[in-house]
Amino acid sequence: MERLGVTETFAGVSLPGHLHTQESLAFAATFTFRPTDVVIATYPKSGTTWMQEILTLLFSHGDALPAKTIPNWERAPWLEQIYCRAALPDAAPRRLLTTHLPARVLAPALRQGKAKVIYVARNPKDVAVSFYHFHHLAKFLPDPGSFDTFLTQFLEGTVHYGSWFDHIKGWLGQQQLLDIFYVTYEELHQDLCGTAQRLAAFLGCPLGPETLGALEQHCSFAAMRDNTMANYTLIPSEIMDHSQGRFMRKGVVGDWRDHFSPQQNSTFNRRYQEEMGDVELPTRWPMA
């Protein structure tokens, strides 16, 4: 398939050439946002797909039809990917967009357009594990090598999509500048309904008990794992080798404990402290 081995570099970050070109990246960086736009911003493997599903159900007032009939990449197009320009519903009253780009690239345009942003973060140890497994099925990402090799690159920020530390610090730094809502993967796990209510309040979107019930049902891991419009099984096997694993892999908190050696854990903790020691986070992840 096209450009599977190509890497694009943009704003110092490596990105898969299968999904991005310099033109598509420039399109994202200069995008004209509207105050009615809602943008999901994440580092990969942080709960992006989950948030796309939650917002789909929220905006449809609990009607599961869009979630069951339209692929998530059409419901919430990826701003920086090649297909976005053609996929964007220009006349839509409310556009839902998704991005993995760093804040320093998008923040000026978001500020200008007064769009709303939802930033989803996840314990970076679980992000690293999930991202490692994802490299095995995604043919547009490089061979990750051993978990140890991958983890070193993750901590150095040389993996595709760049440094997790830079990503979260960049978006956290926008708190006073953007209309932004921070949420963690772990909060979604702990209290999906409560988090959906807070999201609804942020978005000014009514949320009755029936919508909440439908959201709870359709956004569960089991429902999403079996929903072809959310689980990426529609992507051909030349691009995602489904024999190598599932996009909807485990969906749990703390899977890193089954992957990290004591040595890897202490290296990670040291680096985490160096990078995040002074940073105010919406939640503290259990790192021990």
Catalytic residues: 100
Q: Which one of residues 10, 31, 33, 50 is an interface residue with ligand A3P (CB under 6 A)?
A: 50
In degrees, to the nearest 5, what angle opens at C-alpha 272 toward C-alphas 255 and 175? 100
Least Cβ distance, residue 101 to ligand A3P (angstroms): 14
Reduce the DSSP state of residue 117 to 3 states and report it: strand
Cα gap 118→46, rounded to integer Å: 12
Least Cβ distance, residue 278 to ligand A3P (angstroms): 26
Least Cβ distance, residue 201 to ligand A3P (angstroms): 21
Cα gap 132→255, rounded to integer Å: 12
- Residue 147 in the binding site for ligand A3P (CB under 6 A): no
Amino acid code (one letter) for 154: F
Stretch touching ligand A3P by CB under 6 A, among 126-134, 160-168, 194-202, 235-243: 126-134
Is the backbone of residue 64 left (phi > 0), alpha (psi -120 to 50) or beta?
alpha
Q: Which tokens go with 256?
A: 């890193």
Q: Which one of residues 27, 147, 181, 221 is an interface residue with ligand A3P (CB under 6 A)?
A: 221
For the stretch 5-22, what's the b/e string if a residue is b when 16 or more beta carbons lie within 10 angstroms of its beta carbon?
eeebebeebbbbbbbbbe
**Chain position carrying tokens 């959201």:** 215
- Residue 48 in the binding site for ligand A3P (CB under 6 A): yes
Q: Which one of residues 24, 49, 174, 184 is an interface residue with ligand A3P (CB under 6 A)?
A: 49
> One symbol per residue from 235 to 274: x for binding ligand A3P (CB under 6 A), - otherwise; what is it?
-------------xxxx---x-------------------
**Chain position carrying tokens 């911003």:** 41
Cα gap 9→94, rounded to integer Å: 31
Choose between 37 and 186: whose C-beta lies nearer to ligand A3P: 186
- Residue 46 in the binding site for ligand A3P (CB under 6 A): yes
3-state helix, strand, coil in the chain (%, to 5): 45, 10, 45
Least Cβ distance, residue 40 to ligand A3P (angstroms): 9
Per CB under 6 A, residues contacting ligand A3P are 42, 44-50, 126, 130, 133, 219-221, 224, 248-251, 255
